[in-house]
Amino acid sequence: MTQLEAAKKGIITEQMKKVANDENKDEKYILSKIKEGKIVIPANINHKNLSPKGIGEGLTTKVNVNLGSSKDKEDFEFELKKLEIALKYGTDAVMDLSTGENLDELRKLIIEKSPVPVGTVPIYEAAILAVRKYGFIGKMSKQLLFETIEAHCEDGVDFITVHCGVTLNSIERIKKEGRITNVVSRGGSFLVEWMIYNNKENPLYEYFDELLKIAKKYDVTLSLGDGLRPGCLKDATDRGQIYELITLGELTQIAWDNGVQVMIEGPGHIPIDEIEMNIKLEKSLCHGAPFYVLGPVVTDIAPGYDHITAAIGGAIAAWHGADFLCYVTPAEHLRLPDIEDVKEGLIATKIAAHAGDIGKKIPGAIDKDILMAIARRNLDWKKQIELSLDPEKAKKYRESLLSKDEDACSMCGEFCAIKKVRDYFSSK
């Protein structure tokens, strides 16, 4: 029985109890929101060491870290080191986006070592197998695609990205309207290539019922991918993107009717003034299904700093209702991330999620900020460092240039505003 089927029957599962406890919510609240499809708990029955997380309405905004090898760089130790860093700095989920040679082995290792939900994009592996077997993605058989998907599910993957909304109709919308960057989703481009070559509908759309059967069997949450997301600000919120979203909304209801949990993936590259609208549109068209956004970045001109452009967009998105933020690292648009990039990207995304949670008034979200403010008022440096998102970095900064005055700081030295007026104001 999936979490959604259990919820429909009024059964509170162990996973629901765990989420209710983590989020300081009533178990009945979690159950009712899962029943409505507004909360998901990605929890594959085969992911044995999983500590489940809830994603959706009323819960804290979650963050995801992408891992994964490529043909150019396939190093299991390196990927597991990234996983370790991601867990250390508090990621809520990881996705294995490998496109290397032995990606099935790496996937099994990551699932084994990850207590947080693991996601994958099975079409990457299907495409690689198709190239290996037939020399060309266009020749991928439907059977190969679905067997690969089932293999991921059997391994214990908790959520899979499936680009079911990349249809003949939706790519026609893009072709007619015109775009600068066309298709920038890797999975999306595989499917477009396949559809053009075969002049056939996307098998993930056409055989959605078969996909549902597999997902249901293992309780894998479908993360309906935005294969047609805009690849630059100028392409944002166009007919192709919104047509795909409409399709994803229709598929969401079919999945719910079949007891399968669903999230919706979102862009990408969006001007700052269109983010709120994009979030509200998803919530409306997809009936409140959790929204998983990639960034969004709010400018295209800052490669090397896209963890910052994405933190700006992600914070606004989370505030307006996005439930799950995919991290973006400083290496985005330039190369695969290294360990330091993973850390920087994760912390920037956690800042965005937290700022958003304060904005959407998640109960208790601001508590740690209040404790930090009190520690600052008291010039309690030990506590300030302890409360920091990255205590090591804060400590390193603090220690690198100590003031002569131990309880003040080097910023103001003897002219410390806090000390000067502390006695006058009776502080709360």
Q: What is the largest CA-CA distance in the chain?
A: 79
Judged by CB under 8 A, the residue of 147, 193, 201, 380 near a second copy is 193
Q: How many Cα atoms within 13 Å fall on the side-chain side of residue 380?
A: 12
Judged by CB under 8 A, the residue of 8, 17, 271, 380 near a second copy is 271
Give the nearer residue to a second copy in terms of CB position, either 116 or 126.
Answer: 126
Q: What are the helix (H) ranges across 89-165? A: 103-113, 122-134, 142-155
CB of 129 to a second copy, least distance (A): 13
Tokens of 340: 């330091």
Summarize the chain as % helix, strand, coil (round to 5): 50, 10, 40
CB of 289 to a second copy, least distance (A): 24
Q: Does 398 bind a second copy (CB under 8 A)?
A: yes
Beta bridge partners of 39: 56
Q: Is 178 exposed, middle or buried (0-12, 13-18, 19+ CB in 10 A)?
A: exposed
Q: Does 330 bind a second copy (CB under 8 A)?
A: yes
Q: Does 101 bind a second copy (CB under 8 A)?
A: no
Give the nearer residue to a second copy in terms of CB position, either 48 or 361.
Answer: 361
Alpha carbon distance 113, 133 (integer Å):
31
Judged by CB under 8 A, the residue of 32, 46, 99, 258 near a second copy is 99
Q: Does 374 bind a second copy (CB under 8 A)?
A: yes
Q: For residue 262, what are the CA distances in angstroms to 38, 90, 100, 253? A: 9, 24, 28, 9
Give the nearer residue to a second copy in terms of CB position, either 118 or 311.
Answer: 311
Alpha carbon distance 246, 230 (integer Å):
16
Residue 110-129 contact track with a second copy, rule CB under 8 A, x = bound: --------------x--x--
Q: Does 200 bind a second copy (CB under 8 A)?
A: no
Residue count, binding to a second copy (CB under 8 A): 109
Of the candidates 112, 129, 140, 292, the residue with the CA atom closest to the CA atom of residue 204: 140
Judged by CB under 8 A, the residue of 132, 209, 382, 401 near a second copy is 401
Coil, strand or helix at 218: helix
Tokens of 244: 């795909």
Amino acid occupying residue 5: E
Give the nearer residue to a second copy in terms of CB position, either 11 or 417.
Answer: 417
Q: Does 368 bind a second copy (CB under 8 A)?
A: yes
Q: Does 339 bind a second copy (CB under 8 A)?
A: no
Enumerate residues 210-269 that contact a second copy by CB under 8 A. 231-235
Q: Does 130 bind a second copy (CB under 8 A)?
A: no
Judged by CB under 8 A, the residue of 8, 139, 186, 239 near a second copy is 186
CB of 93 to a second copy, least distance (A): 20
What sign results for the dihedral spanned by CA atoms 322, 326, 329, 333? Answer: negative
Residue 404-423 contact track with a second copy, rule CB under 8 A, x = bound: x----xxxxxxxxxx-xxx-
Alpha carbon distance 201, 237 (integer Å):
24
Residue 26-65 contact track with a second copy, rule CB under 8 A, x = bound: ----------------------------------------
**Spacing of C-alpha 314 from chain mean position:** 10
Q: Does 377 bind a second copy (CB under 8 A)?
A: yes
Q: How many Cα atoms within 13 Å fall on the side-chain side of residue 124?
A: 24
Enumerate residues 67-86 that contact a second copy by CB under 8 A. 70-73
